[in-house]
């Protein structure tokens, strides 16, 4: 792995203007992986100005849409060509198990492949007005799009939004998380190998309060895509409002698995555990709440406990079930919630503490945790912990299950586990979440499936055809015949 990196602006690799750098470390043991430029406002000014100039250029305005699509197909092929290298890079940078890193690379390739196929299929429509007027609509690119990327799925989330933005004819500026910037820069390397006009894809690394703030406040940005916390999402909205810029926000979640007595308990228990330990629970859509029907609570909870205790921990490159949490800061956040649970008298069924992994004394590994008897109004029940922590609640009937399921400020994902198809559809209708999975959870993360939330989980939708709306603006044309 390269030890030093550069910004990618206008098809060129360059140092930050300040020449300052920041470090990225391996969460498994905190070893230094690489240094990347500490981009600041002046670097972001160059990037956005370059993206604007490229967007307005005749070269890009007249660039054939079918060639645009072929380039995105080419990126998908290059991701698969370098899949193992990129997966290793993602694993070392984020700490996640290598099998999950490999899945992330394949998912990223699928995003480029999927939106490549849509590049020449952005349709308008004709509208009947009167006999002497031809009225029609066209969807045009919004312009320069800003992409603020979180640290938990850096490659996937960079790919899903930039692929859609470029497919629809925009130019993009990416600000990856300062903790996990490496695969966004690798993606820039892949774009540099293509015939894409220079300045369409740009990457500026740096801190959120410097580079990120400069990007979301820049008057030449026409759309902001942000994935991250509610608090930062509010700041993004405030900045966007000043420039009257639309935003797509994919924020936090406190997603429940609702388990009825008639479910396939062994299969359901498998999925409940997978949904909360994937990426060490550092997933906005993690199934962090277990709502189980009282009649089967003890039996089902025992199955979940057995599976949680069997989870293996270790370095991501060794492909355990569970890798480390990202950093000391993330560990301290989890520990704060554990202390709250203890003070409130909650019962720890298993876990609840940091664990040691041989050869990784500086890594922050947290035991898979189940907490029962949690107050429904507790921070533990209401707030995103972002760790491998499952809170347990019980319900008597459908009505109580729906009430509990909707009883947070979030509404991102819900799993419903039952053999009663009528019940499943009734809950799917009443649950306030952007995705409802019945007898599965995540559906393999399908790129075709619109993803986003209700309430404070954000608005707008990523993935699928719906995401194309984020990056286009509708124009109506009326012709007097």
CB 232 within 8 A of CB 208: yes
Regarding pTM above 0.85, the answer is yes
Tell me what pLDDT residue 3 has: 86
| Residue 335 is a catalytic residue | no
Residues of the chain with pLDDT under 50: none
Instruction: Tell me how far CA of residue 75 lies from CA of 13, 110, 149, 201, 235, in angstroms.
Output: 19, 10, 19, 12, 33
Dist. CA 41–CA 261, nearest whole Å:
56
Dist. CA 412–CA 433, nearest whole Å:
5
**Given the DSSP bridges, would you call strands 389-395 and 369-372 parallel, antiparallel or unpaired?**
parallel
- Residue 451 belongs to a domain: no
Instruction: Tell me how far CA of residue 268 lies from CA of 19, 184, 272, 275, 461, in angstroms.
Output: 52, 35, 6, 10, 27
- The H-or-E segment that residue 33 falls in is strand 32-37
- Residue 454 belongs to a domain: no
Residues 150 and 282 placed together within one structural domain of the fold: no
Write the pLDDT tens digit of every residue in 396-412: 999 999 999 999 999 99
Residues 413 and 465 placed together within one structural domain of the fold: no
**Number of H-type helices and E-type strands within the chain:** 15, 24
Number of separate domains in the chain: 2
Q: What are the start-end ranges of the H helices in 310-374? A: 328-343
CATH number of the domain that residue 125 is part of: 3.40.605.10
Write the pLDDT tens digit of every residue in 216-242: 999 999 999 999 999 999 999 999 999
- Measured from the Cβ of residue 6, the count of other Cβ atoms closer than 10 Å reads 17
- Residue 45 belongs to a domain: yes
CB 33 within 8 A of CB 24: yes
Q: How far is Cα of residue 295 from the mean position of the Cα atoms in its chain? A: 36
Dist. CA 262–CA 419, nearest whole Å:
6
Q: Give 345's DSSP letter.
A: T
| Backbone angles phi and psi of 123, in degrees to 5 | -95, 155
Q: Give 4's DSSP letter.
A: B
- Residue 79 belongs to a domain: yes
Residues 209 and 355 placed together within one structural domain of the fold: no
Residues 84 and 40 placed together within one structural domain of the fold: yes
Tell me what pLDDT residue 323 has: 97
Q: Which structural domain range is residue 288 located in?
A: 256-446
Residues 218 and 274 placed together within one structural domain of the fold: no
Write the pLDDT tens digit of every residue in 167-192: 999 999 999 999 999 999 999 999 99
Residue 123 burial (10 A CB sphere; 0-12, 13-18, 19+): exposed
Residues 386 and 263 placed together within one structural domain of the fold: yes
Residues 386 and 473 placed together within one structural domain of the fold: no
Residues 350 and 418 placed together within one structural domain of the fold: yes
Rounded to 10°, the helix 421-430/398-405 angle is: 40
Q: What are the CB-based long-range contacts (under 8 Å, 24+) for 191-195?
A: 191/8, 191/75, 192/8, 192/11, 193/78, 194/71, 194/74, 194/75, 195/67, 195/71
Give the CB-side neighbour count of residue 273, counting CA atoms within 13 A: 24
Tell me what pLDDT residue 213 has: 98
Residues 221 and 279 placed together within one structural domain of the fold: no
DSSP letters spanning 306-324: HHHHT--B--GGG--SB--
Which residues are paired to 117 by β-bridges? none
- Residue 452 belongs to a domain: no
Q: For residue 431, give the 3-state DSSP assignment.
A: coil
CB 294 within 8 A of CB 398: no
Residue 448 burial (10 A CB sphere; 0-12, 13-18, 19+): exposed
CATH number of the domain that residue 293 is part of: 3.40.309.10
Q: What are the start-end ranges of the H helices in 344-477? A: 379-382, 398-405, 421-430
Dist. CA 218–CA 205, nearest whole Å:
16
**Given the DSSP bridges, would you call strands 12-14 and 7-9 parallel, antiparallel or unpaired?**
antiparallel
Tell me what pLDDT residue 34 has: 97
Residues 273 and 400 placed together within one structural domain of the fold: yes
Which of the residues 90, 178, 210, 250 is marked catalytic?
250
Residues 127 and 33 placed together within one structural domain of the fold: yes
- Residue 190 belongs to a domain: yes
Q: Can you read off the two tokens belonging to residue 409?
A: 């400020």
Dist. CA 76–CA 91, nearest whole Å:
19
Instruction: Tell me how far CA of residue 382 lies from CA of 171, 287, 406, in angstroms.
Output: 38, 13, 11
Dist. CA 56–CA 451, nearest whole Å:
31
Residues 403 and 474 placed together within one structural domain of the fold: no
| Backbone angles phi and psi of 457, in degrees to 5 | -80, 0
Which residues are paired to 22 by β-bridges? 36
| Cβ-based neighbours of 300, under 8 Å, separated by 6 or more | 259, 265, 268, 269, 292
């Amino acid at each position: 792995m390269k030890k030093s990196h550069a910004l990618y602006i206008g098809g060129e690799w360059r140092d930050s203007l300040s020449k300052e750098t920041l470090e990225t470390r391996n969460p498994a043991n905190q070893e230094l992986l690489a240094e990347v430029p500490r981009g600041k406002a002046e670097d972001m000014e160059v990037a956005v100005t370059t993206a604007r100039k490229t967007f307005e250029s005749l070269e890009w305005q007249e660039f054939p849409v079918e060639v645009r699509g072929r380039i995105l197909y080419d990126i998908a092929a290059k991701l698969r060509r370098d899949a193992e290298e990129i997966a290793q890079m993602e694993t070392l940078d984020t700490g996640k198990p290598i099998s999950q890193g490999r899945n992330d690379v394949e998912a990223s390739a699928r995003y480029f492949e999927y939106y490549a196929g849509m590049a020449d299929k952005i349709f308008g429509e004709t509208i009947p007005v009167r006999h002497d007027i031809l009225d029609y609509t066209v969807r045009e690119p919004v312009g320069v799009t800003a992409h603020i990327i979180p640290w938990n799925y850096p490659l996937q989330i960079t790919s899903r939004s930039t692929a859609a933005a470029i497919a629809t004819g925009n130019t993009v500026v990416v600000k990856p998380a300062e903790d996990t910037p490496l695969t966004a820069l690798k993606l820039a390397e892949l774009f540099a190998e293509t015939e894409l006009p220079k300045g369409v894809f740009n990457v500026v690394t740096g801190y959120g309060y410097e580079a990120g703030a400069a990007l979301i406040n820049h008057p030449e940005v026409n759309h902001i895509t942000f994935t991250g916390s509610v608090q930062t999402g509010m700041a993004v909205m405030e900045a966007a409002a000043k420039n009257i810029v639309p935003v797509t926000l994919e924020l936090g979640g406190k997603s429940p698995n609702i388990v009825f007595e008639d479910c396939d308990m062994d299969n359901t228990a498998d999925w409940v555990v997978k949904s909360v330990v994937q990426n060490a629970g550092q997933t906005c859509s993690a199934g962090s709440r277990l709502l189980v029907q009282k009649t089967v609570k003890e039996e089902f909870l025992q199955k979940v406990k057995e599976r949680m205790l069997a989870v293996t921990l270790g370095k991501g490159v060794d492909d355990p079930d569970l890798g480390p949490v990202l950093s000391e800061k993330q560990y301290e956040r989890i520990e704060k919630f554990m202390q709250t649970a203890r003070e409130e008298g909650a019962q720890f069924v298993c876990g609840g503490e940091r664990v040691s992994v041989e050869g990784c004394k500086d890594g922050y590994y947290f035991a898979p945790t189940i907490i029962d008897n949690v107050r429904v109004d507790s921070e533990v029940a209401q707030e995103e912990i972002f760790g491998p922590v499952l809170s347990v609640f019980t319900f008597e009937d459908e009505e109580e299950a729906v009430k509990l399921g909707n009883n947070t400020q979030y509404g991102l994902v819900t799993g419903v586990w039952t053999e009663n198809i009528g019940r499943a559809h009734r809950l799917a209708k009443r649950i306030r979440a952007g995705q409802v999975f019945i007898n599965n959870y995540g559906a393999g993360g399908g790129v075709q499936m619109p993803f986003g939330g209700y309430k404070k989980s954000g608005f707008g939708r990523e993935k699928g055809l719906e995401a194309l709306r984020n990056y286009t603006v509708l124009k109506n044309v009326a012709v007097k015949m």
